[in-house]
Amino acid sequence: MTKLKTLDLNFNKLTGEIPSSFVGVSKADYMNFTRNMLTRAMPDWMLKRGDNYDLSFNNFTKFYSMRINCGGKEVIVDGNTKYEDDTDSGGPSKFYQSRTNWAFSSTGHFMDNDRPTDSFIGTNMSRFTMENSGLYTTARLSALSLTFYGFCLENGNYTVKLHFAEITFTDDKTYSSLGRRLFDVYVQHELVLKDFNIEDEAGGVGKEIIKFFTAVVTNNALEIRFYWAGKGTTGIPVRGIYGPLISAVSVDPDFLPPSRNGSSSISVSIVVGIVAGVILLIFLVISILWWRGCLRRKYTLEQDLKGLDQQTDLFTLRQIKAATNNFDANNKIGEVGFGSVYKLYGCCIEGNQLLLIYEYMENNSLTHALFGPKECQLQLDWPTRHRICVGIARGLAYLHEESRLKIVHRDIKATNVLLDKNLNPKISDFGLAKLDEEDNTHISTRIAGTLFGIVALEIVSGRRNTTYRPKEECIHLLDWLISTTFFLAYVVS
């Protein structure tokens, strides 16, 4: 049977253990023992094969963890966590199987000749101060490759904890401190650590470092391999100061093992999914109740706003609709960048209806008074025009200098100057305004609309800033002012 390539014995109701006589078929590419009634442990020769076999759906005793104190005696840490002993002397070509569910294999001779025999268990040369120091008193060594196997594990995700501490050379300035150990680490055939240096990672000799990895077990077997790739020292300071070193191995499931009554295990991911689903369902129910108004405090926003120190009148939405004839467009003064302005002033706070009502300007805007339809234009004398210019200037001076919050309007134009019944100007539309913070010297005061000077010229001349004439180009007021020599005479007339 030495030339056998595939051995398929599934669904044969085989019982007992796999006999050692099957070692003759160990060179087969694949062996299938699924869905039988096999028990006890796997033979050594099968463990050495790696994962070219399938033993699922048998009666092997299932394990859900393994903890090994590599190279040392049994140790109990944290009060009740037991790490099994691993005191086998090892060797350059050694396979060892424990009494439970793990084994290790070691290969390779150390290359130097400073010692008559190789030692594959390292012992501490320093004084430890870390917790659980019993795990770091000894360590298992190998010249080339060191592999730990876990078998009869329930399939699923596991957390692998690898404990390291460099204990084979010192941490002083002597010759004994010159060792440098580098090796690679594989978990389930996947490279997880490249050129791993225990001393550098731990911050010195005699200090522990723990590495965590996630391993997926699919065929009831786990493999953790430490491999020397030829880097680091070999004979400095003494023989064997290179190659893999591991202090302890711990493997724990990421799922809940079955209880003693035999109930099946529940994956942690399933538990997390169930909890997340319940939380999402509760959130959806609360959202629906809130949307329907069952949980909403309808009066909160309205009361908060009404509780402010109001310096304006409050109106109901019904009053506003009655006063504006249900927001009739005929009652609208004009449209500005921030919204429409109607014939009242104050505010309205009712539920989601938040309205600002501005003072009614009987004479509309300055644009309407100067450039509107002829029947709507106002005949403004010089004192009135002067008063309007001064009023705008005073308003800007207040915004720039006298207000507690300095404001740059950035959009002064005739459209944004409203006139009351006495033709007093009021600056409106602060949609482009910005705060002029004294400490904020980089504030942009770039003019977004027109200048006060242009507005003053419009008031004095009675001409628009920009005028279009048929068969002529667009004429700007400032250009017209510069080009004409009769401006003063025009104004006087």
Instruction: Provide the pLDDT for residue 260.
Output: 53
CA 224 to CA 222: how far, in whole Å? 7
Instruction: Provide the pLDDT for residue 177.
Output: 76
- 143: tokens are 């010249």
- Domain edges within the chain: 6-48, 66-253, 262-296, 361-492
CA distances from 16 to 48, 99, 188, 427, 483 (A): 21, 18, 28, 99, 115
Taking the alpha carbons at both ends of the chain, their separation in whole angstroms is 125
Amino acid 118 reads: D
Is 388:425 a contact under the CB 8 Å cutoff?
yes
Given 54, 118, 184, 411, which residue is catalytic? 411
CA 394 to CA 399: how far, in whole Å? 9
Instruction: Provide the pLDDT for residue 171.
Output: 76
* Residues contacting 237, CB < 8 A, separation 6+: 169, 175, 176, 177, 178, 179
Q: Check residue 269 and give left, alpha or beta (phi > 0: left; psi -120 to 50: alpha).
A: alpha
Instruction: Provide the pLDDT for residue 338.
Output: 44
- The CATH number of 66-253 is 2.60.120.430
Q: What is the mean pLDDT of each run of 10 residues along the chain (493 residues)?
A: 82 82 75 81 63 74 91 91 94 89 91 69 78 91 94 92 90 76 96 95 91 94 94 74 92 84 60 89 88 61 51 70 76 54 59 70 81 82 89 86 80 83 83 70 50 81 65 59 56 52
Is 366:418 a contact under the CB 8 Å cutoff?
yes
CA 433 to CA 234: how far, in whole Å? 76
What architecture does CATH give domain 361-492?
Answer: Orthogonal Bundle (1.10)
- Could you give the count of Cα atoms lying within 13 Å of 95 in the half-sphere of its Cβ? 9
Q: Tell me phi and psi for residue 268, to 5 degrees.
A: -60, -40
β-pairing, 138-141 vs 466-467, is unpaired
Instruction: Provide the pLDDT for residue 343.
Output: 44
Q: Do domains 66-253 and 361-492 have the same CATH topology?
A: no
Based on the residue annotation, tell me whether 420 is a catalytic residue of this protein.
no
- 4: tokens are 């056998």
Torsion sign, CA atoms 49, 53, 54, 60: negative
Angle at 108 between CA 107 and CA 110, to 5 degrees: 145
